[in-house]
Chain A
Amino acid sequence: MNGGHSVIGFFAEVDLLEDAVKGARAAGYERLQVISPVPLTRLDVAIENKRSPVRFFTLAGGLIGFGVGWALTTGSAAHYPIIVGGKPLMSLTPFGVIAYVCTILFGTLFTVGGMLFNARLPRIQVGRGYDARLTGNRFGLQVICSSEQCAGAGDLLREFGAEEVKHVEV
């Protein structure tokens, strides 16, 4: 989203926002972004309704952690053997505890990493045109558009009940 234009409409009510999203889509605007103080993932305004891929990061982290746990324990047993008569060198039950703990640890690290990667975080600064009201009590709809389209987009957002419309370069 660099070098383009956008229009942000501010809405006090979420149903106005929903109508505006539908209206903008119907008018042919495809690059839309909703900004809200609470998650709206279950509403129609959720622009991307696809399930988040974070779950694959969690799964990958869990599997890697499980492998690391077993490798660490069995590797240590092989490299630093403690030979006790009648006892197996590879004691699966106690090693399973470490494998379980590593599954949780790596699953968590990968989940947080996956969230940050997919949400494009962390960022040093917020994006241009960001408005503090949007973490407070207002819902925003940002329409990414060409400079010619943007005038029309602003009118459209006002038509659907936006209290205010801001033009922002992105």
Chain B
Amino acid sequence: MTQPPTYTRIDTDLVRTMQPAGRAYYVVLAILAAIVGWAGYAWSVQIREGLGLAGISHPVGWGVYITTFVFWVGIAHSGTLISAVLFLFRVRWRSSIYRTAEAVTVFAVATAGLFPFIHLGRPWVAYWLMPYPQMGGLSPNFRSPLVWDVFAISTYFTVSALFFITGMVPDLAIVRDRSVGWREKIYGLLAQGWQGTNRQWRHYVAAYVFLAGLATPLVISVHSIVSWDFAMSVVPGWHTTIFPPYFVAGAIHSGLAMVITILIPMRRLFSLDAYITQHHLGSMAKLMILTGMLLGYSYAIEFFVAWYSGNPFEREIFFWRAFGHYAWALWLLVACNVGAPLLFFMKRFRESTPWLVVLSLLVNVGMFFERFVIIVTSLAREFDPFAWGLYVPRWPEISILFGSFAWFFLLILIFAKLFPVVSMWEVKELLPLPRRKST
């Protein structure tokens, strides 16, 4: 990054982002809240009328809700990659962007976590998924990947939230020290009495390394476990060993795209050009070339193995994906996820803010449709032609899908005004320690 000259300037620039917002901020907030409200209404109607109001039915029992769940879990992954994995590898460019990436992780998992509840016909018995002693002789079946998923996602949320909050404590102390009145009291509580003593730093730095070490395997395992929701079944198009690495690559791909989508307007709104530079965005674009090519390889291998296996059901489903009713979605996702990021090989696309926005949005669209194609086409075209059928999402599903985006961006907007969006203490650490000029 272009190094800001002093500690004082870093504090001033980054605390400034938390100044009271203008009218435009509240207008956007109100629009997002209205969309969330509409989605809440749609869900309430679905609960009242029953799950039959949604388009999911036989044979496609998993539709937009599960697609959106997998999409948001995927979005979460880049945050952990940037904050934990790149921290362990001592990648310096992560310091300016990891706080926002972590926020994306926490809010994306929080959004994803809503969908299993929304997908339930009777959400009030969701606690049946959790193990607890009860007289009915009913307990979660720990052999089921769906129960692994409950554990994986709730653990991922807990670990990400703790990593996020812990990383923010020294910065909250800075904000506390520059606030007055009720803000000082609230940030004082959130800062937990942090003073920056050598004792505090010693244990904090040690804990941070261990938290990063514990979060790192989650980058691999969480989406692997999500992929087993599908791969552990015998459904054609799902029952494949390539799913875990394929899902992890896709998750990081979509997460990087979402972080770019959020960082660019944030940099503009808060004048953070000195902290979030083209180098940061370009570095993420380079990572997206890698993840995009991994995805391209995975797509090709899926088709190859379906053909090479000689299994007629596998061959049928992949032929139908490419040329059947939902073929438009397959070719769209290939173009968006594999084709579009290839443009980042050219420096002028990597270094152009409008192109970064456009291409990262395309990847987000492509990744949603990737999950849609995997989930819907396999269920729509299972073994028995008598049971084949099509799926079209209905208004509650579309409303809740858009509501999830509004909910996510609402949380991001609130975070951006209440908390430092760039880690102040880690950006300070990038600067050489102030020493006498003579030495």
Contacts and interface: CB of A to CB of B under 8 A. Distances in A.
A28 to B, nearest CB: 20
A26 B154 CA distance: 53
Interface in B1-39: 6-8, 11
B66 to A, nearest CB: 20
A125 B201 CA distance: 18
B207 A115 contact: yes
Given A54-B207, A76-B139, A126-B195, A135 B177 contact: yes
B199 A119 contact: yes
Contacts of A135: 170, 173-174, 177, 194-196
Interface residues of A, number: 65
Given A54-B206, A101-B151, A13 B435 contact: yes
A36 B196 contact: yes
Interface in B214-261: 214-215, 217-218, 221, 225
A134 B7 CA distance: 11
B214 A136 contact: no
A124 B105 CA distance: 29
A137 B162 CA distance: 27
Contacts of B177: 132, 135-136
A27 interface: no
A104 interface: yes
Contacts of A38: 425, 428-429, 433
B84 to A, nearest CB: 11
B140 interface: yes
Nearest to B165: A112
Nearest to B138: A80
A15 interface: yes
Greatest chain B CB density within 10 A among A109, A114, A122 is at: A122
B7 A12 contact: no
Nearest to B12: A136
Contacts of A152: none
B178 interface: yes
A95 interface: yes
B345 to A, nearest CB: 36
A132 B177 CA distance: 5
Contact of B155 (A54, A104, A126, A137): A104
A154 to B, nearest CB: 20
Nearest to B166: A112
Contacts of B158: 105, 108-109
A115 B142 contact: no
Contacts of A98: 142, 147-148, 151
A124 B195 CA distance: 12
Classify the secondary structure of B's interface with A.
helix
A2 interface: no
Interface stretch (A39-47, A143-151, A162-170): A39-47
Contacts of A67: none
B85 to A, nearest CB: 15
Interface in B177-220: 177-178, 188-189, 192-207, 210-211, 214-215, 217-218
B80 to A, nearest CB: 12
A72 B210 contact: no
A9 to B, nearest CB: 14
Interface in B21-71: none
Interface string B96-131: 000000000000000000000000000000000001
Nearest to B198: A34
Contacts of B11: 136-137
A54 B217 CA distance: 20
Contacts of B138: 80
A122 B142 contact: no
Nearest to A110: B210
Contacts of A127: 193, 195
B7 A37 contact: yes
A111 B204 CA distance: 10
A94 interface: yes
Contacts of A105: 155, 158-159
Interface string A70-84: 001100110110100
Contacts of B194: 121, 126, 135
B143 interface: yes
A121 B203 CA distance: 11
Closest 7 CB pairs between A and B? A123-B193, A122-B192, A132-B177, A115-B207, A52-B206, A80-B139, A137-B7
Interface of B: 6-8, 11, 131, 133, 137-144, 147-148, 151-152, 155, 158-159, 162-163, 166, 170, 173-174, 177-178, 188-189, 192-207, 210-211, 214-215, 217-218, 221, 225, 425, 428-429, 433-436, 439
Given A38-B425, A105-B159, A108-B215, 4 more contacts: A94-B142, A101-B221, A109-B158, A111-B214
12 contacts: A13-B436, A16-B436, A37-B170, A40-B201, A82-B143, A102-B151, A105-B158, A108-B158, A125-B193, A134-B195, A135-B196, A137-B11
